[in-house]
Amino acid sequence: MAKLSIFSGNLVVIGFGSIAKATLPLLLQQETLILRTITVIAPVLEQTSWFEANNIIFIQAHLDEDNYEALLDRYVDRGDFLLNLSVDVSSIALMTYAAHAGALYLDTCIEPWAGGYIDPALSSAQRTNYALRQQMLTLRNRLGKGPTAVVAHGANPGLISHLLKAGLMRLADELKHPAPLADGQVQWARLAMQMGVKVVHIAEHDTQRSTQPRQAGEFINTWSVDGFISEAGQPAELAWGTHERHWRKDARRHRTGAKNAIYLDHPSATVPVRTWTPVAGSCLGLLITHHETCSLADYLTLREHDEVIYRPTLHYAYRCCDDALLSINELIGNDWAPPRSKRVMGSEVADGGIDALGVLLMGHALNAYWFGSMLSVDQARVLVPFNTATSLQVAAGVFAGMVWAVRNPDRGIVEAEDMDHTLILDTAAPYLGLVVAQRTDWRPTHTSAQDKRDDIQYPWQFAQFAGA
C-alpha cells in the first residue's frame, strides 16, 4: 500500500552542493512527499545529467542581497516548500521571505550573506553561532505563528537533538529512572540533572577515506568544504556546565540573550578535545562550533527563581576523516589561506568507512553512554545514490524535518528541540544504518599527579577533555 501523501506542492532548492546532490535522490525515491516540480537554483550546476533525467529544473543564478526576492518571486508560490541547502546566502533573509510568501522552509544551519563569517568589522562574539541564533530568535518573536520554518535541521544540527532525547530515555531505562511525564524543556533538563549527566559530547568519528590520494594544497572532506572551513574559523562554542570549577582564561561570556552558551577566544578547529565513540573508542576530536551547541545549551538549562541550578557542559567533538583532518591542519598552518583546490568525496570513497554520530552522555552512575547512528558508506550507497555515510545522515535529517513541517504547517520558526523526536527518528531511521546504545568505562586521560587527584575529587571537568 502506498504511503499517504501529505504534501503535493512545488519544491524550490537553493544550492547544489554535496548535500543537495545527496538529498534530491532520497526525495525522489520516497512516497511520503509528492513533489509536483523540483527547481534547483544555484550559481554552479555541474554533473547534472542524472538529475535532469529525473525532470529537475535547473536555474543557474547567484542569490545575493539585491536580487534574491525578485528571483524567488519567479519560482516560489504560496504552499510551496523552500529548501535552503546553500552557503553564503542569508538564512534569515530566506526564512523571512518564506514567511511572507506563505511557503514552508527548512535549512541545515543559519548562514550569513557571503563574507559574514570573516567580516573584520565584526567582533568574535558577533561571528558566533550564538549571535546568528539570536538573530533567528528575534525574527521568530517578530513573525509569530505562520508557515513552518525548520531551522538548522540536517544531521547535526538537527537529528542530533532528537538522538539526545532518545539517548536520555534509553539511559533512564538503564538506570531504572522514571521517564519525563511531559515533553517540555524543563522536563528534559530535569531528567538529565536527576540522572547525574554532567557532560554531553556530540561525538562523531568519520573513518571514510578516499582512494585518490590527497595532494598538497587540496582540501578534502566528506561534506561541504566551504561549510567546514567556515565553521572551523568561527570561535569555539560550548555550554558551560554548573559542575565546572575552573574558568578558562580564553573563555568569554555573551552580553545579550539567555547567555547559556560561551565561546573561546580561538578558532574552533584549533581546540582539540578528547572524546569516545563505538567505532574506534577514544579519539581526539575538534571542538567545532555548531548551532545545536547553543540551542541545546538553552534546552538543558534548569532554573529556579531565575537562578541556574543545572546545565551540563555540552559541545561538538568532531574527529573528521583523515583527509579532512590533514586538510584543516594544513589550512591552519598556512594562516587560513584559501586552499588551492577543493574536493568533496563521492564515488572514490573506499569501501568500509563509517560515520559514527551520536551523543556521549557522561558523569552518571553508568559512567558514560553513547547513543547514535553508525552508518557505513557501503550501506549509504545501497540506500540512496550519490551519497557517502556523512551526506546520507544529513539528507535523512532534511527529509525527516520536511515531513514534520508539512504535518505541522503553521508553527512558525522552530528548532529541532521544539519537534517530536519520535516522529523524526522514525522517519529518518531507514537511512541511519545501525542505531547503537553502548555503555563505556572510558574517561579522559590524566596529565599529572595533581590533575589526577583533582580528577578523582572533581571528575568530568572541561580541562580534563581539552586542557587548560
Predicted TM-score (pTM) above 0.85: yes
135 and 201, same domain (yes or no) = no
214 and 144, same domain (yes or no) = no
133 and 173, same domain (yes or no) = no
What is the average pLDDT across 122-143?
A: 97
CA atoms of 52 and 50, how far apart (whole Å): 6
What is the average pLDDT across 348-357?
A: 95
Which of these three, 150, 179, 198, is where a domain ends? 150
Summarised one tens digit per residue, pLDDT across range 315-334 is: 999 999 999 999 999 999 99
Asked if the model's pLDDT at residue 457 lies above 90, the reply is no
416 assigned to some structural domain: no
Asked if the model's pLDDT at residue 83 lies above 90, the reply is yes
246 and 324, same domain (yes or no) = yes
The pLDDT value recorded for residue 46 is: 79
42 assigned to some structural domain: yes
3 assigned to some structural domain: no
350 assigned to some structural domain: yes
**Which one is predicted more confidently, 199 or 347?**
199
CATH of the domain at 124: 3.40.50.720
With cut-offs at 50, 70 and 90, classify the pLDDT of residue 161: very high
120 and 253, same domain (yes or no) = no
The pLDDT value recorded for residue 266 is: 96
The pLDDT value recorded for residue 230 is: 95
Asked if the model's pLDDT at residue 149 lies above 60, the reply is yes
Asked if the model's pLDDT at residue 112 lies above 70, the reply is yes
With cut-offs at 50, 70 and 90, classify the pLDDT of residue 8: confident
Which of these three, 150, 184, 219, is where a domain ends? 150
- Domain of residue 121 covers 11-150
Asked if the model's pLDDT at residue 452 lies above 80, the reply is no
Summarised one tens digit per residue, pLDDT across range 364-400 is: 999 999 999 999 999 999 999 999 999 999 999 999 9
Which of these three, 150, 167, 187, is where a domain ends? 150
58 and 163, same domain (yes or no) = no
188 and 100, same domain (yes or no) = no
The count of domains in the chain is 2
What is the average pLDDT across 277-302?
A: 97
333 and 283, same domain (yes or no) = yes
CATH of the domain at 338: 3.30.360.30
124 and 197, same domain (yes or no) = no
164 and 134, same domain (yes or no) = no
The pLDDT value recorded for residue 447 is: 53
The pLDDT value recorded for residue 367 is: 97
124 assigned to some structural domain: yes
324 assigned to some structural domain: yes
Asked if the model's pLDDT at residue 265 lies above 90, the reply is yes
With cut-offs at 50, 70 and 90, classify the pLDDT of residue 449: low
293 and 208, same domain (yes or no) = yes
With cut-offs at 50, 70 and 90, classify the pLDDT of residue 4: low
With cut-offs at 50, 70 and 90, classify the pLDDT of residue 227: very high
302 assigned to some structural domain: yes
With cut-offs at 50, 70 and 90, classify the pLDDT of residue 1: very low
124 and 60, same domain (yes or no) = yes
457 assigned to some structural domain: yes
